[in-house]
Chains A and B, each alone.
Chain A
Amino acid sequence: MRGLLLVVLASLLSLLIFSQLGFVSFAQPSESPPVHPLNLALEDSPGDLPLSAIIASPQPVPPNTTPTVVTLAAGAVCRPECTISGSFAAPSGSWAMILLNYTGGGARERFRLGLLSFRKWC
């Protein structure tokens, strides 16, 4: 009886492995999907804090032109909370896309809400 059970289990296991291999061979694309360079910001590198958020929705895809980058904050440390404000001269030009990049890191306990707003002097 036990032998029969083992045979049945072994058959089921081989069926499972075969079906998975088959699935993988059919589902695997012939080449790796293109990785947008912006997504690299989401990848962990050794020594960094643990990655805590992967965004499930697709990232915006900017056009293939060289952007003018305005840095508003670079590694500003807040404890426990903060307001970062300032002003900058908007670059002149005609824009196909304007992209905001907010990158954050937190250590210990919790941080709740981030708000960002822009105001134009009138």
Chain B
Amino acid sequence: MFQGTSPEYGRWSVLKDITEYTALFKGTVNFVFHAPGAIIQGNFTTWLSISFYPVPKGETPPSEPNVILPLWSGVSLTQSSPSATLSVNVPYNTLNATLELYAYGFGLDEFWYTNEPSFRDVIVSVDSKPIASVLPFPYINTGGIDLFAWRPITAVFTLDDPAYRLDVTPALGLLEGEHELSVQVLNIFPASRWIISGALLLYTSPNTPPAKQVSYSFNGPVVATATNPSFTYFNQTANISYSYSSKIGENLYTLESSQSFANNQTFNQMGEHNGLRNDAHSDHEHRARIFTHL
């Protein structure tokens, strides 16, 4: 539920609203705080607390997912082992499902957008059928690129990397019941690893009927690469499109997604970068056709 990179030194404080995980805070709760550090002859100190704020009088608590299925927790994917698979059992009375995914490259892929090839895609599949494609965001660690550039304000999202979120309600026809769920990172560079964590956040209701898959298609990624013999440039583009829909009772839920990726790199005669541009766009359009009986 929380992932990030701390500063190199000094002190810092991060507040994160974790109300959407309310379902986890019942009875005995186990927690793990893992800080795989890169300290050389140093140390760091940790304070962790959770504050539970009661609902003010006269107000109602926020509506949060009532079932949370933990998926991967800090799984390390590499070039030789680029995917991880597990079994999930999604209840047959699910009304709404959100996939939450953390993906972060390290090693030589800490700066994956400067590598050749540069295209990376995180794909989540149900029984080998892809249902989600995530074009990763170029996170920069607090010491990234320039050790001294990130004080006092760190790079975007550094201390609290938000998860990639996708409403996968239209895939419930594939997800409900017991299935194999896998995550794969495409084109991991040698001497690199991608840290993957994730969860399924579900709203269930006793009267909800099982979902039926109505349609499914997944195309891509279609990758094009352009370079020259003297290697003064290296450009890549990629396109992905997918759509699927599920019927829950009489209601129809549809997802149509199109993604594009473009990365242009130029080099001088020494092979050093002298230009870099990375663009990634994801358009996810969700539609719900809800039937009501008047």
Question: Which residues of A are at the interface with B, using a C-beta cutoff of 8 A?
Answer: 38, 41-42, 48-56, 59-60, 62-91, 93-121
Chain A residues with Cβ under 8 A from B54's Cβ?
63, 65-68, 93-96
Chain B residues with Cβ under 8 A from A52's Cβ?
7-12, 151-152
B59 close to A (CB within 8 Å): yes
- Rounded to whole Å, the gap between the CB of B143 and the closest CB of chain A is 6
- From B9, B34, B62, A96 is in contact (CB under 8 Å) with B62
B4 close to A (CB within 8 Å): yes
Taken residue by residue from 182 to 210, chain B's Cβ proximity to chain A (1 for < 8 Å, 0 otherwise) reads as 00000000000001010000000000000
- Rounded to whole Å, the gap between the CB of B139 and the closest CB of chain A is 11
Chain B residues with Cβ under 8 A from A53's Cβ?
6-7, 10-13, 142, 151-154, 159
A-B contact count (CB 8 A): 357
Q: Decide yes or no: A100 and B18 within 8 Å by CB, A73-B33, A80-B43 being known contacts.
A: yes
- From B7, B48, B68, A72 is in contact (CB under 8 Å) with B48
A84 and B33 alpha carbons, distance in the complex (Å): 5
Question: Which residues of B are at the interface with A, using a C-beta cutoff of 8 A?
Answer: 1-19, 21-22, 24-56, 59, 61-62, 68, 70, 73-74, 104, 106, 141-143, 151-154, 159-160, 195, 197
| Nearest neighbor of A61 in chain B, beta-carbon distance | B17
Chain B residues with Cβ under 8 A from A72's Cβ?
31, 33, 48-50
A37 and B25 alpha carbons, distance in the complex (Å): 25
Q: Describe A's contact surface by its main secondary structure.
A: strand
Give the one of A49, A50, A59, A115 with max B CB within 10 A: A115
- From A42, A65, A68, B55 is in contact (CB under 8 Å) with A65
Give the one of A60, A65, A85, A99 with max B CB within 10 A: A99
The 10 A-B pairs with the shortest beta carbon distances in the complex, nearest first, are A52-B10, A108-B42, A79-B43, A53-B12, A81-B37, A67-B51, A105-B11, A106-B44, A80-B39, A52-B7
- Find out whether the CB atom of B35 lies under 8 angstroms from the CB atom of A41: no
- Find out whether the CB atom of A65 lies under 8 angstroms from the CB atom of B43: no
- Find out whether the CB atom of B34 lies under 8 angstroms from the CB atom of A115: yes
Chain B residues with Cβ under 8 A from A88's Cβ?
28-29, 31
